[in-house]
Homo-oligomer: A and B are copies of this chain.
Amino acid sequence: MVKKYLDKISAAAALNKIKNKFGSLRTKSEVIKTADAESRVTAQAVYAKRSAPDFYASAMDGIAVKAEKTAGASERSPVKLKVGSEAQAVDTGDPIPARFNAVIKIEEINKADENHYLIEKGVPPWNHIRSIGESVVKGNLLITAAHKLSDYDLAALLEAGVTEVEVYKRPVVTIIPTGDELVTAEQDPKQGELVEFNSQMIKAALRKWGAEVNITEILADQKELIGRNMLEAAETSNLVIVLSGSSAGRGDFTIDILKNEGEILFHGVNVMPGKPLIAAAVKGIPVFGLPGYPLSAWIDNQLFIRELIYSMQADQAPNFEEIEAEVKRKIPSEIGLEEFLRVNLISDTKNKFTAVPLKRGSSAMESMLKADGILRITANKEGLHPGDKAPVMLLKDRNKIKKDLLLIGSHDLSLDLIKNEIKKRNYKFDLKLQTVGSMAGLTALRRNESDLAGAHLLDPESGEYNISYLKRFFKGQKLLLVNLVYREQGLYLKKGNPKNIKSIKDLTKSNINYINRQRGAGTRVLFDFLLKENNIKAEEISGYQKEEYTHIAAAAAVGRGSADAALGIRAAAEVMDVDFLPLEEEKYDLIIKENRLDDPRINKLIELINQAEIKTEIEKLGGYNCQETGKITKLQL
């Protein structure tokens, strides 16, 4: 079937089209109180309406004198000045009586008696006297047009008698969310319904950039309805955003509406996420169709709408903070497509950054929450290879990122607890977690993509945890093994155990659907071990091929009924309110390279997990045993 958009253009070309068409649009101006004008942009040059000070004023606390009378004063022959006729106490800012022409600082005078000051040093005329207009001079150009007002700009304007100022209005943006399947976040979505939250995300960003934002009701996928609302919005707004429906599905009417009612600048950009973007002009007003996937919408908003919101106020968007980072693994990418990947960053002692990709996909919000930045693979590259460098747009402060610790490995709920404690206690670093499984964690540590790994890998031969795997991954190296917890592994079962599962063997029954963990996960290794121990083949387990990535997700699948059983830790069963059939106690360790033992953050972390208070908290999660938590084993492999 033919797609409705075929003319995809590059990001740079798209941005150029937007700038050429709309770059000189400005909002109307309005006159507001100067006191309220911080961060607003002037529409006209501003001149001082009065001088300040407008009289000769004392610049110090002290006494006003006639300079000539102090000539020759010294410690040995001080000059005596009569209070009133020859000297008068003045504070900073006080006007200087016409008969005086200098001020002596309070520190430099003594009182001879009630009626006389003693001066031990002469002063020149105009000493410590603020000249008229010292601060601002009436008639001077204070601020040009198109200037963004700062806190001290306001001060200067008020001092100069400018109590009102003409500024560009905040751009008014109307956001129109569309989609039959969408409900608001306050509603409880039923089967087939999705929560509409993009409008609030876009609104929050636009407000930060200076816009005023209206969001209409969620509109059904009806061409006439959306068209009417869009035209209405174009009448009352400086910019209109139609959310979802920018692609080529059956309910995607935005492109047809805009073709009829306006001029299409482009439909489709070669960026990923963010491809199905529409830019159009309706009655001279920019109208954007943003894709429904949140990360697509986010990227498009940042790349294509942000600058426009600023330029409409005669302001300039700040540059994105960008760094260059190396990748240490192969990252495939389609040639001709500019790809934006969420990444974690770690920096070495030389301040070089390494980027570690998070889960892809335009709708993986959790991976966005974990990201430090967005790595950009330009359209001319067919992916990246280990050692390649690429630009990364930062989502957090560069200096903050440098201080953080990155743990890649298996998921455990105690890590979430520790991560939260570190934040609550205001340590100077965050603990970032990439939960990709034990094996992937060891691989990442070996590649220096992480500060620590977390693993619970059972050796089926020895029954020992982690050591044999570490020998394979880190031959000849020195490592620290820090025990995090011992924890119960067992089967998640639907509340009340309706299918009466009593052992691992029951999973082979024909009416039982299992859900597995991903390859390389310690829990999957354990499951395979348990199958082998019970002489069960993988093929006998219905659902062995279906994978979840975390304990919580596995427990959730059982709780929802999409599977009857899954293997995982007890704590997740408690969170998701499913039954738990304990099978094993396993060991979960943190793995750290030995040269990192003097890293204060590593020490702080180990010190934290050694606290009795933390151990109690972890054990409260359920199924945890903290007897060896914090115990360090040095390994020479």
Report which A residues bind B (CB closer than 8 A): 1, 3, 24, 34-35, 38-39, 45, 47, 50-55, 57, 59, 61, 89, 91-95, 106-107, 109-111, 130-147, 150-156, 158-161, 163, 179, 181, 185-186, 188-189, 191-192, 194-195, 197-198, 200-205, 207-208, 247-252, 292-295, 298, 314, 316, 318-319, 361, 363-366, 368-369, 395, 397, 399-400, 416, 419-420, 422-424, 426, 430, 548, 550, 552-553, 555-557, 560, 562, 572, 575-576
Query: Which of B51, B106, B133, B143 makes the CB contact (< 8 A) with A249?
Result: B106
Docked-complex contact A294 and B368, CB < 8 angstroms? no
Q: Quick one: given A191-B55, A560-B132, are A208 and B251 in contact (CB under 8 Å)?
A: no
Q: Closest Cβ of chain B: how far from A99's Cβ, in Å?
A: 15
Extra pairs beyond A52-B194, A140-B366, A154-B204 (10, CB < 8 Å): A24-B426, A35-B200, A38-B204, A52-B195, A91-B251, A93-B292, A133-B553, A135-B294, A139-B555, A156-B368
Contact A364 B134, beta carbon cutoff 8 Å: yes
| Pair B137/A365 contact, Cβ less than 8 Å | no
**Most B CB atoms within 10 A — which of A207, A248, A420?**
A420
B-chain residues with CB within 8 Å of residue A137 when the two chains form the complex: 366, 550, 552-553, 556
A250 touches B61 (CB 8 A): yes
Contact A141 B420 (CB under 8 A): yes
A152 touches B1 (CB 8 A): no
Q: How far is the CA of A116 from the CA of B552 in the complex (A)?
A: 41
Partner of A202, one of B47, B151, B361: B151
Contact A423 B145 (CB under 8 A): yes
Closest residue to A422 on the B side, CB-wise?
A: B144
| Pair A156/B424 contact, Cβ less than 8 Å | no
Asked whether, in the complex, the Cβ of B152 is within 8 Å of the Cβ of A201, the reply is yes
- Interface contact A195-B423, CB-CB below 8 Å: no
Bound-complex Cα distance A100 to B94 (A): 86
Query: Is A91 within 8 A of B200, CB to CB?
Result: no
Contact B197 A3 (CB under 8 A): no
Q: Enumerate chain B residues within 8 angstroms of A95, measured Cβ to Cβ.
A: 191-192
B144 with A366: CB separation less than 8 A: no
- Give the CA-CA distance A223 to B366 in the complex, in Å: 57
Say whether B298 contacts A151, CB under 8 Å.
yes
A129–B227 Cα distance when bound, in Å, is 31
- How long is the Cα–Cα vector from A109 to B138 in the complex, in angstroms? 74
- Chain B: minimal CB distance from A549 (Å): 9
The contact sample of 12 A-B pairs, CB cut-off 8 A, is: A1-B106, A35-B185, A39-B208, A91-B252, A133-B548, A140-B552, A144-B423, A152-B295, A154-B197, A156-B369, A158-B200, A318-B397
List residues of chain B with CB within 8 A of the CB of A158: 185, 195, 197, 200
**CB proximity of A124 to chain B, nearest CB, Å:** 10
Q: How far is the CA of A158 from the CA of B204 in the complex (A)?
A: 13
This chain's copy number in the assembly: 2
Contact of A192 among B55, B189, B247 (CB under 8 A): B55
Which chain B residues border A130 with CB–CB below 8 Å?
Answer: 363
Q: Which of B109, B143, B202, B420 lies in contact with A1, CB distance below 8 A? A: B109
Question: Which residues on B sit within 8 Å (CB–CB) of A150?
Answer: 204, 395
Which B residues are in CB contact (< 8 Å) with A201? 151-152, 154-155
Pick the contact of A298: B147, B152, B203, B316 (CB < 8 A).
B152
Complex CA distance for A426 and B426, rounded to whole angstroms: 44
- Write the chain B residue with the least CB distance to A574: B139
Give chain B residues whose Cβ lies under 8 Å from the Cβ of A550: 137, 140
Residues in B whose Cβ lies below 8 Å from that of A138? 552, 556, 576
A319–chain B nearest beta-carbon distance, Å: 6
Partner of A366, one of B91, B156, B294: B156
Neighbouring B residues of A55 by C-beta, 8 Å: 191-192
Contact at A366–B249, with CB atoms within 8 Å? no
Q: Quick one: closest B residue to A428, CB to CB?
A: B316
CA distance A562 to B129 in the complex (A): 15
A395: min CB distance to chain B, Å: 7
A406 to chain B, nearest CB (A): 15
CA distance A365 to B133 in the complex (A): 10
How many whole Å from A245's CB to the nearest CB in chain B?
A: 10
Residues of the B chain whose Cβ atoms lie less than 8 Å from the Cβ of A139: 552, 555-556, 572, 575-576
Q: How far is the CA of A361 from the CA of B60 in the complex (A)?
A: 12
Closest 4 CB pairs of A and B: A61-B249, A158-B197, A38-B204, A91-B249
User: Which of B145, B155, B365 makes the CB contact (< 8 A) with A200?
Assistant: B155
Pick the contact of A155: B144, B181, B198, B251 (CB < 8 A). B198
* Complex Cα spacing A181 to B90, Å: 12
With A138-B556, A552-B137 already in contact, the answer to whether A319 and B151 are too (CB < 8 A) is: no
> With the chains together, A59 CA to B273 CA distance in Å?
13
Assembled-state Cα–Cα distance A357/B419 (Å) = 47
Residue of B156, B205, B207, B416 near A141 (CB, 8 A) is B416
**Min distance, Cβ A286 to any Cβ of chain B, angstroms:** 18
A251 to chain B, nearest CB (A): 6
Partner of A179, one of B93, B106, B575: B93
Asked if A93 contacts B141 (CB within 8 A), the reply is no
Measured CA separation A419–B249 after assembly (Å): 52
| Distance between Cα atoms of A142 and B416 in the complex (Å) | 9
CB contacts (< 8 Å) of A110 on chain B: these are 1
Chain B residue contacts of A575, Cβ below 8 A: 47, 139
Residues of B within 8 A of A419 (CB): 141, 144
CB distance from A220 to the nearest CB of B (A): 13
